[in-house]
Amino acid sequence: MSAADARRRAVLRAIVADYIASQEPVGSKALVERHGLKVSPATIRNDMAVLEQQGYIEQTHASSGRIPTEAGYRAFVDALHDVKPISAAERRAILDFLEHGVDMEDVLRRSVQLLAQLTNQAAVVQLPTLNVSRVKHCEVVSLSATRLLLVLITDAGRVDQRNVELSAPIAAEGVAQLRTLLNDVLVGKTMREAAASLSTLSSRAPADLAPAVDRATAVLIDTLVENTADRLLIAGAGNLTLHGAGDLQSVIAALEEQVVVLKLLASAQELEHVSVRIGRENEDEEFSRASIVTTAYGAGAEALGGLGVVGPTHMDYPGTMQKVATVARYISRILRGE
């Protein structure tokens, strides 16, 4: 790389950093003064003209300074080798806040609230899906002689509850037998893996228990296998109004559509990898004016869900990437019981 190319990269980094900090067009004189560039403003203006020709920066009007384009932000992000570290105090605060969660869903709810506060953006997190996590235990509780409560607990800490209405009363011994039968085919498997066994379970049950087994397995298959819709937690959507409600109004509306948001997290399946999509890199038109930073959390080597931050294209990329990565890492630690 020539000295001129290296200098222009430094100029681009400086323009992006200054614009992120101020949201004001950046001029050549200010760049020289603030960043100690050892050349004249005239040389910087020439560099800016080249960067503009290359599509990395643009002028809002003839007499203004420059602002980054989406290509400029992308070049800035791609050149990040070391993201901004968080302080030891911030790390302790994050871990302490998350460790006080009473169950996995509470940990994730705390995580999304924390990310929204730390980044001043909108934060989203996907709860572990039953397609990925495995059943740890299925509890069967008698609510009345003809009503049962099924409590499904996964290895990711997800808890799902379903009521089962029976056609005939069931005794305490029958409840215990049903619990044993269900756990025999569920424990250690995903719900999809257990579907075939569930559908044939009544044929292996005692005759007097078969009606209860039929009702219980039907509820599990219908509501937990066939309809395993991912669930999301979202926090901080109101933060986006602080960054220009006009530009981000469509983003605020789109966050209410869970299907759209789930698409954002679909690619977040690699642990320890932070993905950044800027403006029109996002497939959905609603997010064409936003940037999205995502990663995955999980136990062991398996990703269980995605989380991320949605904000303006002039977001603090180094800081946001580090905070998203740190929160995901601590969620994974809690999942592993560390």
What pLDDT score was predicted for residue 132?
66
pLDDT digits (tens, 9 = 90+) for 310-319: 999 999 999 9
Structural element, H or E, at residue 68: strand 66-68
Q: Is 137 strand, coil or helix?
A: strand
pLDDT digits (tens, 9 = 90+) for 135-176: 888 899 999 989 999 988 877 667 778 899 998 899 999 899
Token pair for 279 = 């403006």
Token pair for 319 = 């800081």
What pLDDT score was predicted for residue 264?
72
What pLDDT score was predicted for residue 258?
66
Token pair for 63 = 């007499």
What backbone phi and psi angles, to 5 degrees, belong to 14? -65, -40
196: pLDDT strictly greater than 80: no
What pLDDT score was predicted for residue 131?
64
Which residue has 């409840």 as its token pair? 175
Percentages of the chain per state (helix, strand, coil), in multiples of 5: 50, 20, 30
pLDDT digits (tens, 9 = 90+) for 104-114: 788 888 999 99
Structural element, H or E, at residue 290: strand 290-299
Domains of the chain, first to last: 3-78 (1.10.10.10), 88-127+230-335 (3.30.450.40), 135-225 (3.30.390.60)
Q: What is the mean pLDDT of residues 171-200?
A: 85
pLDDT digits (tens, 9 = 90+) for 251-289: 777 777 766 677 777 777 778 889 999 999 988 888 888
What pTM does this model have?
0.75
pLDDT digits (tens, 9 = 90+) for 206-233: 888 988 989 998 888 876 665 444 678 8
